[in-house]
Structure 1
Amino acid sequence: MDYLIYKSTALVAPDSAACRDIVTVSQRNNAGFGLTGFLHAEPGLFIQYLEGPAKPLWALYERLHLDPRHRDLRLLGRGHLDRRRFVDWRMGYSDEQVLSFADFKAQVSVPGPAADAPRDEAIYFLKVACARIDIGIVEAPLVAPDL
């Protein structure tokens, strides 16, 4: 199983119908392709982690480059996994009300080689946002329920 994580410039607002549509359609489609992941949206920012079988994962990443709801995709990391990081999330979702990426970066130092820092920082960030929702520290943003 492979994973990828990217960052892009969001062109839709986190609370918009377009952003909710991303999550709803992703939840439905990811189930059919064996993909799981997590999307974080803030004004001007998407961070998305995806994992699953290599062929559908990389086909999706290629399609994401054509999506007009964001631009400037930057692959932060990729690799192989023995087990899923987001096993229960066909497509989890958070926004700056759950956790601000800038606040996280200001408060957390990610250990490890400098070359891996953007990838590791983004993965840790998404795991913390996911945990905040899972343990009830914050309410999940209002999007379609995970299917």
Structure 2
Amino acid sequence: MVLSHILYRSSGRLDQFKQDCEDILVSARRQNQEYRLSGFLHAEDGIFVQWLEGPAEALDFVAGKILADPRHRDIAILAKGEIAERQFPRWSMGFSTGESAPLFEYLAEQDINTHDKRAYASGIHRFLLERVA
């Protein structure tokens, strides 16, 4: 089985952000178990960043649903492709917020160039991995 991943950033609806987070988590955890996907979602200041991984065909299907979801706007795919092994094997969908772990502070402290797409994606990936360590 070929494993793939996608890492994206999107803007949420500010007036409904907290409720959207809760709703997304419930549906993502159920759906990800069904499709054998795993990953991690971080929500902060109206921004979502998510790493999603699993079988390529299932991942493409679910990513298509995310791209069409009105709770996500201005979606930017930061990284996508095959992976040798799962990064978040224990999580149907892990979750953190800026209250418990501020992503933007982490990026600044690590001196990550957010204008360099590869460095930005790598920094977000490390940040998410540290949430589950």
TM-score by length of 2: 0.88
Of 101, 104, 109, the residue aligned with 1:102 is: 104
Q: Structure 1: which amino acid aligns with 2:129?
A: K
Q: 1 CA distance for matches of 2:15 and 2:92?
A: 21
TM-aligned CA deviation for residue 65 of structure 1: 1.4
Of 8, 11, 30, the residue aligned with 1:9 is: 11
Q: 1:30-51: CA deviations, max 9, x gaps? A: 0110100000001220000000
Contact preservation (8 Å) 2:41, 2:49: yes
Contact preservation (8 Å) 1:3, 1:78: yes
Counterpart residue number, 2:130:
128
TM-aligned CA deviation for residue 109 of structure 1: 3.8
Unaligned runs of 5+ in 2: none
TM-aligned CA deviation for residue 27 of structure 1: 0.6
Alignment of 1:1-147 (within 5 A): 1-12=3-14, 16-109=18-111, 114=116, 116-131=118-133
TM-aligned CA deviation for residue 59 of structure 1: 1.2
TM-aligned CA deviation for residue 4 of structure 1: 0.7
Identity %: 33
Superposition RMSD in Å:
1.9
Contact preservation (8 Å) 1:6, 1:74: yes
Contact preservation (8 Å) 2:78, 2:117: no
TM-score by length of 1: 0.80
Query: Residues 124 and 21 (structure 1 numbering): CA distance in 2 closer, same or farther, change over 3 Å?
Result: same
Unaligned runs of 5+ in 1: 132-147
Q: 2 CA distance for matches of 1:50 and 1:86?
A: 9
**In the comparison of the two structures, how many residue pairs are matched?**
129
Contact preservation (8 Å) 1:5, 1:75: yes
Q: 2 CA distance for matches of 1:92 and 1:14?
A: 20
Tell me which moved more, 101-110 or 53-62: 101-110
